[in-house]
């Protein structure tokens, strides 16, 4: 029996259990994958300041994100094709998040629909991530569906006007459901757990799109529609339009630049997410943790700053919070758990990150995550200049 102690253990197991096409979809960045790798690597360069002889008997990782009480400052990120990692994956991940006490964010390009997840979680509020498509009527209907499903926040992604080139996806011929080629059939035959799950569900394609767009009824028409729908004309005027449509919490995802952060602040959004789309868009962009301090400084506490990209441990969460993030998001870490062990694997991923966060915070002499600041890092007041200097170091 495999003993799971860290996110890497879940990743290794997921790689064995998920068909290559869908595992690679998770474990991929654009072009050279330099930014994808930097998201993880730059966390490792930040050193923690260990303290001793502090009363650590009463500790709390509880906080709030968008006014919502959370067990730790972590949300599950919106991830496309989650239901291809494991049958009904979005429902299972949402249930795990609900049980643990953190937000779940459903992607526009999910396999399970908004309504599926709402039913599967007994109406428990979750967040919905929105792509603005060329078909604005579809977008408006999608926003209305999220509202009617009691979604408490809308996460508007701004960095996918055009899609970055991901070599593995192109070589694998990524599609949902997978095409029944000899290569795919042979691969799926070695993943019986995954295959049995897929045979037992009706959810195998993009649930938020099929049946909700005129003329999209099969894989060919869906592929043609989606290829045409990402909108390069997306602008801050469209953000203002979405703000008028949505009177609940609004989050802008994909901010990497301080000037864009100021635009986000002026838009009336409630929070922004410092994100480079997991290194899947502009290869060569800075890691999210490098970009974070300048963006925190730019908004000056006038809106919540969240971040995603590269979080594989509770220590990463602690470092992000120390540098000003009010909340963090896990995508790949959750997907590794889901692919490895289904709903139980997502629960385990959250438990691993929580335990690492709690212990690391304690070793740094803190007992409440809300009291964590830059003083838990070395040096005591790391300059934002570090994150703009490839040669910078905390040591």
Q: Please give the Cα distance from 329 to 292 (Å, whole number).
A: 14
Q: Which residues are catalytic?
A: 277
Here the tokens at position 229 are 């729908």
d(CA 53, CA 30): 46
> What's the CA gap between 191 and 210, in Å, rounded?
27
| Token pair recorded at residue 238 | 């469209």
Contact partners, residue 90, CB within 8 Å, separation at least 6: 82, 83, 106, 107, 110, 111, 112, 116, 117
Q: In a 10 Å sphere around its CB, with 0-12 CB exposed, 13-18 middle and 19+ buried, how is residue 232 labelled? A: exposed
In whole angstroms, what is the distance from residue 42 CA to residue 38 CA?
Answer: 6
């Amino acid at each position: 029996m495999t003993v799971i102690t860290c996110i890497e253990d879940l990743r290794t197991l997921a790689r064995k259990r998920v068909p290559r096409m869908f595992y690679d979809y998770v474990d991929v960045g654009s072009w050279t994958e330099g930014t994808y790798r930097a998201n993880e690597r730059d966390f490792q360069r930040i050193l923690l300041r260990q303290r001793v002889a502090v009363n650590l008997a009463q500790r709390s990782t509880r906080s709030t994100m968008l006014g919502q009480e959370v067990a730790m400052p972590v949300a599950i990120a919106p991830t496309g094709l989650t239901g291809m990692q494991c049958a009904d994956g979005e429902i299972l991940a949402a249930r795990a998040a609900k049980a643990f006490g953190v937000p779940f964010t459903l992607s526009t390009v999910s396999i399970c629909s908004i309504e599926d997840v709402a039913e599967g979680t007994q109406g428990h509020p979750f967040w919905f991530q929105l792509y603005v498509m060329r078909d604005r009527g579809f977008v408006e209907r999608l926003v209305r569906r999220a509202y009617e499903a009691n979604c408490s926040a809308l996460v508007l992604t701004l960095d996918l006007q055009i899609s970055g080139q991901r070599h593995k996806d192109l070589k694998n011929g990524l599609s949902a459901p997978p095409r029944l080629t000899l290569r795919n059939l042979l691969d799926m035959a070695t993943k019986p757990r995954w295959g049995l799950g897929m045979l037992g569900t009706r959810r195998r394609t993009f649930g938020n799109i099929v049946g909700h767009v005129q003329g999209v009824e099969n894989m060919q028409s869906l592929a043609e529609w989606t290829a045409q729908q990402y909108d390069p004309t997306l602008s801050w005027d469209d953000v203002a339009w979405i703000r008028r449509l949505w009177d609940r919490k609004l989050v802008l995802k994909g901010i990497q630049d301080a000037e864009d952060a100021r635009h986000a602040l002026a838009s009336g959004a409630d929070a922004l997410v410092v994100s480079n789309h997991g290194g899947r868009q502009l290869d060569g962009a800075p890691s999210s943790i490098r970009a974070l301090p300048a963006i925190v400084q730019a908004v000056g506490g006038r809106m919540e700053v969240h971040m995603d990209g590269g979080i594989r441990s509770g220590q990463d969460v602690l470092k992000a919070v120390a540098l000003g993030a009010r909340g963090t998001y896990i995508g790949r870490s959750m997907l590794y758990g889901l692919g490895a062990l289904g709903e139980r694997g997502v629960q385990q991923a959250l438990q691993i990150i929580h335990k690492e966060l709690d212990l690391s915070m304690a070793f740094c002499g803190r007992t409440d995550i809300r009291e964590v600041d830059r003083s838990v890092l070395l040096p005591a007041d790391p300059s934002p200049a570090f994150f703009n200097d490839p040669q910078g170091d905390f040591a």
